[in-house]
Amino acid sequence: MHPLGHYVRAFNRGPIGRIKAFVSSALIGTLVIALLAGVAFHYASNQIWNAAFGKLNAVGVEVLERSERSSDQIRAAIRDVQTQGALPCSPENLALMAQTNLKYGQLQGVGYVANGRLMCSSYGSHGAGIPLPPPRYQGTSGNLMMLRDVNLSLASSIEPQPVTIITAAGNGYSAILSPTLPIDVFINDRDMAVGTVIYSSNEIKAARGGVDPTWRTRLGDSKHTQFVQNHRIVSLWRSPRYDYFAFAAIPDDEVRARIRYAGLLILSCAAFAMAVLLLAAARSALRRVPLSESIRDALWRREFHLVYQPVVELKTGRWVGAEALLRWRRSTGEQVRPDVFISVAEESGVIEEITDHVFELVTADMAGFFESHPHFHVAINVSSIEIQSPDVVSRLTKFCAGVTGANARNFVIEATERSLIDPEKARNIMEEIRKLGFAVAIDDFGTGYSSLCYLQTLSTDYLKIDKSFIDAIDTESVKNDVVLHIIALAKDLQLRLIAEGVENAAQATYLRDRGVEYAQGWHFAKPMTCRELLSSLGRQTAESIGGPNPSRQP
């Protein structure tokens, strides 16, 4: 056998089959790719949003911490200078204010305000006092606060700079600080807005970049919230101790651009995968499918069925049995010849599955049949490979037990002469099969290469004379003589003969006159469906009971 036998005998699928194969694999592939791309995109955009919020939250938290530190230091500094007893602008007090200023790093200075003027500060006495604008904010709770924004030159050598003066309403001690200090956080994003907003009044305390007055409602009573609004990504953090919250916000366009970019990347990957997939699908659709693969497929799709060819008793013309022959009709309507697919199945190791399937089909076809035909037999072909493997015995036992109303004697197991290549092995297994009650037949006898001396020791019931010898009957061919030798041999070995492929009455008569007991062939009946077999048998039985001539053909 050609080593690539089953590839050489591969099938080309029909055009419809190819289109179907292509469309189905393309469809499934597209679905999978779309699903994966969807998951990837979802994951990527989540990652991008999370990264943006993460960055924003870190800045928001820092702004809040810096603001709280300033607030803490304002209170602590004012408390420190309040607790001493000296006059507000006395030299001892000025020294204390200078010390306090150094102690609290967030502060620009410590001072004393009276009648709307900064009278003195950690920088010294301001004489008649520096006039201050009216407060822009007056706290209600606690002993703080009065906020004044002013441009102040705290020493003659220093340029005036904007400061906020926070005065304890009680006696005028004040903290002086840079209004932007809490929001002077390092950000490398120039579009980022940061700042603090007074929670109770929704007034801006300090801000870089725009603030949206609706943010506070989004925050509600919670400590933190983050959201996207009006094309800005916003993070808010409320102080648990002071009446303000910090914010950080950036335009969302960069994030959206990144998501678009990720989407584009994923889309191009998906497009590439689709191209590869379509190519692979096209290739596999055009591929020649090895026949062995098609056989597995066909088993799965139940494309096989059995036909039965009657075995006739030559003396009476009665149908005593039938050989089950497997037929494969593909979905394309094409019939595959068994001598093609059986040999491929033997080479590729699916033969056992095929035989098991034959068992299944016989089990279904013949359920209950032998109850009314206890002497009828069905012959089943078993491959030479199987007849050399011991598990065929248990498989047969199981099969027979599964056929309703059947007995082992209702089955003939046909093994080709090729099975006898290793006669030792085959002999033992055949013997066991016969012990179970099955009959055994050597199929295609005369065509194989079994040495005749083994035949004596072989445990078998029938020899089936191959059709080529029957064809030679009454011709000049040497095979004509061989038939006579086979008949003589069978008599010597006490084996019964079945002639195969009997096509005319002359052959039938010739064989019957020479003592051949059984025959198969178109002269009697062609292989037929189970239904046809059963109805013909029914008619035969009725005729043999009612009619005068029991040997009439149906």
Smallest separation (angstroms) from ligand G to the CB of 429:
15
Give the contacts of 14 (CB within 8 A, at least 6 positions apart): 332
Residue type present at position 412: V
Q: How far is the CB of 324 from ligand G (least distance, A)?
A: 6
Q: Which does 358 bind (CB under 5 to 8 A by kind): ligand G, Mn ion, none?
A: ligand G
Q: Which is nearer to ligand G, 106 or 536 (by Cβ)? A: 536
Q: Which does 458 bind (CB under 5 to 8 A by kind): ligand G, Mn ion, none?
A: none
Q: How far apart are CA 86 and CA 316, in angstroms?
A: 145
Task: Decide: 247 and 195 in contact? Cβ < 8 Å.
Answer: yes
Compute the least distance from the CB of residue 383 to Mn ion, in Å. 11
Contacts with ligand G by CB under 6 A lie at: 309, 325-326, 338-339, 342, 358, 381, 383, 443-444, 464, 500-503, 520-522, 527
CB of 498 to ligand G, least distance (A): 9
Closest distance of CB 306 from Mn ion, Å: 13
Q: Which residue number, 260 or 526, has a Cβ lying nearer to ligand G?
A: 526
182 or 310: whose CB is closer to ligand G?
Answer: 310
Provide long-range contacts, Cβ within 8 A and 24+ apart, for 207-212: 207/183, 208/180, 208/183, 209/249, 210/249, 211/247, 212/249
Q: Which is nearer to Mn ion, 242 or 308 (CB)?
A: 308
Amino acid identity for residue 517 in this structure: E
Site for Mn ion in 405-464 (CB under 5 A): 414, 443
Chain CA centroid to CA 186, Å:
48
How many residues at the interface with Mn ion, by CB under 5 A?
Answer: 3
Cα 515 from chain centroid? 66
Cβ closer to ligand G: 43 or 522?
522
Token representation of residue 96 = 């204390």
Q: Which listed option, Mn ion, ligand G, none, makes contact with residue 17 (CB within 5 to 8 Å by class)? A: none
Cis ω before 97 (30° cut-off from 0): no
**Region for residue 206 given its phi and psi (left: phi exceeds 0; alpha: psi -120 to 50; beta: otherwise):** beta
Q: Which of Mn ion, ligand G, none sits in contact with 501, Cβ below 5 to 8 A by type?
A: ligand G
Contact between 517 and Mn ion per CB under 5 A: no
Alpha helices by DSSP H, 349-441 = 351-365, 369-372, 391-402, 423-435
Shortest distance in whole angstroms from residue 503 CB to ligand G = 4
| Among Mn ion, ligand G, none, residue 338 binds (CB under 5-8 Å by kind) | ligand G
Nearer to ligand G, 250 or 326 (CB): 326
What 3-state DSSP class applies to 18?
helix
Nearest to 314 by CA among 526, 527, 536, 515: 515
Out of ligand G, Mn ion, none, what residue 517 binds, judged by CB under 5 to 8 A for its kind, is none
Q: Assess contact for 223 and 238: CB atoms under 8 A.
A: yes
Q: Is the dihedral of CA 480, 481, 484, 488 positive or negative?
A: negative
User: Which amino acid appears at position 408 of this protein?
Assistant: A
Out of Mn ion, ligand G, none, what residue 417 binds, judged by CB under 5 to 8 A for its kind, is: none
Q: Tokens 């597995």 label which residue?
A: 296
Instruction: Confirm if 377 and 319 have CB atoms less than 8 A apart.
Output: no
In angstroms, give the least distance from the CB of 326 to ligand G: 4
Q: DSSP per residue over 468-530, as a string? A: HHHHTTTSSSTHHHHHHHHHHHHHHHT-EEEE----SHHHHHHHHHTT--EE-BTTTB--B-H
Helix, strand, coil share (%) of the chain residues, nearest 5: 45, 25, 30
Q: Which is nearer to ligand G, 166 or 326 (CB)?
A: 326
196: partner contacted, choices Mn ion, ligand G, none (Cβ within 5-8 A by kind): none
CB of 323 to Mn ion, least distance (A): 5
Minimum Å gap between C-beta 489 and Mn ion is 19
| Of residues 323 and 352, the one with the C-beta less far from Mn ion | 323
- Span of 86-94, 376-384, 398-406, 470-478 interacting with Mn ion by CB under 5 A: 376-384
Binding mask 32-71 for Mn ion (x = CB under 5 A): ----------------------------------------
Q: Per-residue string for binding with Mn ion, 206-225, x by CB under 5 A?
A: --------------------
Q: Which of 71, 73, 101, 381 binds Mn ion (CB under 5 A)?
A: 381
Minimum separation from the CB atom of position 363 to ligand G (A): 14
Q: Of 377, 460, 402, 397, whose CA–CA distance to 426 is shortest? A: 460
Q: Which amino acid is at 147?
A: L
Quick one: residue 420, left, alpha or beta (phi over 0 = left, psi -120 to 50 = alpha)?
alpha
Tell me how far, at minimum, the Cβ of 279 lies from ligand G, in Å. Answer: 40
243 vs 414 by CB, closer to Mn ion: 414
Closer of 292 and 381 to Mn ion (Cβ) = 381
500 binds, among ligand G, Mn ion, none (CB under 5 to 8 A by kind): ligand G
* Residue 326: contacted member of Mn ion, ligand G, none (CB under 5 to 8 Å, by partner type): ligand G
CA 333 to chain centre: 33
Q: Which is nearer to ligand G, 211 or 299 (CB)?
A: 299
Query: In the structure encoding, which two tokens stand for residue 529, read together?
Result: 């469906």
Give least dist CB 268 to ligand G, A.
54
In the complex with Mn ion, the residue whose CB is nearer, 176 or 441, is: 441
In the complex, which residues of this chain contact Mn ion (CB under 5 A)? 381, 414, 443
